[in-house]
Amino acid sequence: MFYGWVIVGLAFVVQFIAVGSMMQCFPVFLLPMSEEFGIGRAQAALPPVAMMLSGIVFSPLIGLAISRFPIRNVMIIGAIAMSLGFYALSEATAFWHIVLAYGLTGPLAMGALGSLSCNSLIVNWFERRRSMALGIAMIGMSISGAIMIPAATWGLETWGWRAVYRFFAVVPLGLIPLVAWLVVTRPEDRGLAPDGEQPADKGAFEPAPAQPSSMRQLLAAPTLWLIGAACGLSYFGALAVMNHGIAFAIDRGIDPMRAAGMLSAISVGAAAGKIAFGWLADRLGEKSAFRVALAFQFFALLGLSGLSGYSALVVAGGFFGLGLGGIAPLQAALLARSFPGGNFSRAMGLIAPLMIPFQIAGPPLAGWIFDTQGSYEMAIWIFMVSTVASGVIISLLKLPDTARQAPSI
């Protein structure tokens, strides 16, 4: 078996744990922390926001570290930071301790241990089947909530939220031996070529770029800004639909327990989308697959706007998740095509600050529109417009013919 699939399996496990414990499980702790520290729910929801905002600073630095040092070392540092962060959370005596712990250790867990490092590894190991490999690895992000949220809820009811955080502090320590043993930065380090091809001799390899572009050069590349804008606009409504989805369904006369089924449909659709659009991109190209993913999102939002029956809303949620799930591997694949070699991890780190403002703006915008108009209708149409704008921008993107070309800077 090609060793690259071992890398994909490890990335699946790592992202399942990092995203599941750090992001997906946070709603489980919101009410207990609100009650313990005597704060409102709006304030209790600040830790993930702090984590995303600090990612604006941390992500470029993590991308730079991945391009300069062995990825194994970066991931181990991320695992240690994640462990220390969860232990600090379990010992917090004031709410600002919670916000600080998420803000300082969250980006390291999600980036150095999770997505930035894992995506860089897979891009190194795959070319022809890159989008598919990225999609399989990212499924761990989508299904983590379905498994870890119930487990964390049971642990909270049995032992309390501090004990759950202490358990989460132990888990990343168990990843360190796996990372140290299994992570190999490039296939050349094992005498292989990307996608499992066996070269006749060492001269068959194309050497990796000796000197990656500087941060300034990468930021001057229109390609980076186009991909960032297209992906950011496609994510604009994602967190809003997730955060307000249950309330939206209840407004349509659906029981709260059944309303949660719409969110489950989004998660299931997102998991399927990562594989489906990874497969599609390897056959139609990244830009064409991206446009198809946007079409799923657009028509799903149109359905949410006009439909009211429970089954119809669940179907619309599934289609929305399908399109949304495809964007993450397509984003990485587009960056890998445009910024090969050591430039990929740097570009991946730099694009996060371009997208985060879109991601965090959607939920408060949707809430404000509902508070002022008594309906989410205008918010849904704004998100539909942003989806169309994303498609226009991605059409302007010009990709190099091969994955090994240098980016146009």
Domain assignment of residue 59, yes or no: yes
Domain boundary among 162, 181, 204: 204
pLDDT at 198: 64
Residues 297 and 339 in one domain: yes
Domain C-terminal end among 181, 204, 227: 204
Residue 113 lies in domain = 4-204
Lowest mean pLDDT of 90-94, 302-306, 382-386, name the range.
302-306
| pLDDT value of residue 372 | 84
Q: Which amino acid is at 84?
A: L
**For residues 212-216, average pLDDT:** 76
Q: CA 287, CA 292: separation in Å to the nearest integer? A: 9
Q: pLDDT tens-digit profile of 257-274?
A: 677 677 778 878 888 888
Query: Are 224 and 218 in contact, with CB atoms under 8 Å apart?
Result: yes
Task: Give the model's pLDDT for residue 42.
Answer: 67
Same domain, 291 and 193: no
| pLDDT for residue 352 | 83
Domain check: are 34 and 171 in the same one? yes
Assess if residue 401 is contained within a domain. no
Question: Residue 223 — left, alpha, or beta (φ > 0 → left; ψ -120 to 50 → alpha)?
Answer: alpha
* CATH code of the domain covering residue 70: 1.20.1250.20
Last residue of a domain, one of 204, 232, 248: 204
**103/176 same-domain check:** yes
Q: How far is residue 105's CA from residue 85's CA, in Å, rounded to a whole number?
A: 5
Share of residues in the chain with pLDDT > 70 (%): 92
- What is the average per-residue pLDDT within 367-377? 85
Count Cβ atoms below 10 Å from residue 75 Cβ, excluding itself: 28
pLDDT of residue 291: 95
69 domain-assigned: yes
My answer on whether 178 and 106 are in the same domain is: yes
Asked if the structure places residue 117 within a domain, the reply is yes
Residue 408, pLDDT score: 39
184 and 315 both lie in a single domain: no
Q: How far apart are CA 246 and CA 254, in angstroms?
A: 9
Q: Is residue 404 part of a domain?
A: no
Q: What is the DSSP code (8-state) at residue 308?
A: -
Token pair listed for 279 = 């497969």
Whether 88 and 199 map to the same domain: the answer is: yes
Q: Looking at the predicted structure, is the pLDDT value of residue 378 above 50?
A: yes
Q: Are residues 96 and 238 in the same domain?
A: no
Q: Is residue 330 part of a domain?
A: yes
Per the structure, the count of domains in the chain is 2
Q: Quick check: is 403 in a domain?
A: no
Q: Is the pLDDT of residue 78 over 80?
A: yes
Mean pLDDT over each residue of the chain, to the nearest integer: 85
Q: Residue 409 above 70 pLDDT?
A: no
Predicted pLDDT at 201? 53
Same domain flag for 197 and 272: no
- In this structure, the answer to whether residues 142 and 182 fall within a common structural domain is yes
Q: What's the confidence (pLDDT) of residue 405?
A: 41
- Judged on CB neighbours under 10 Å (0-12, 13-18, 19+), 255 is exposed
Q: What is the pLDDT of residue 260?
A: 67
User: What pLDDT score was predicted for residue 407?
Assistant: 40
Interval 318-356: pLDDT, tens:
999 899 888 988 998 899 888 887 788 888 888 888 888
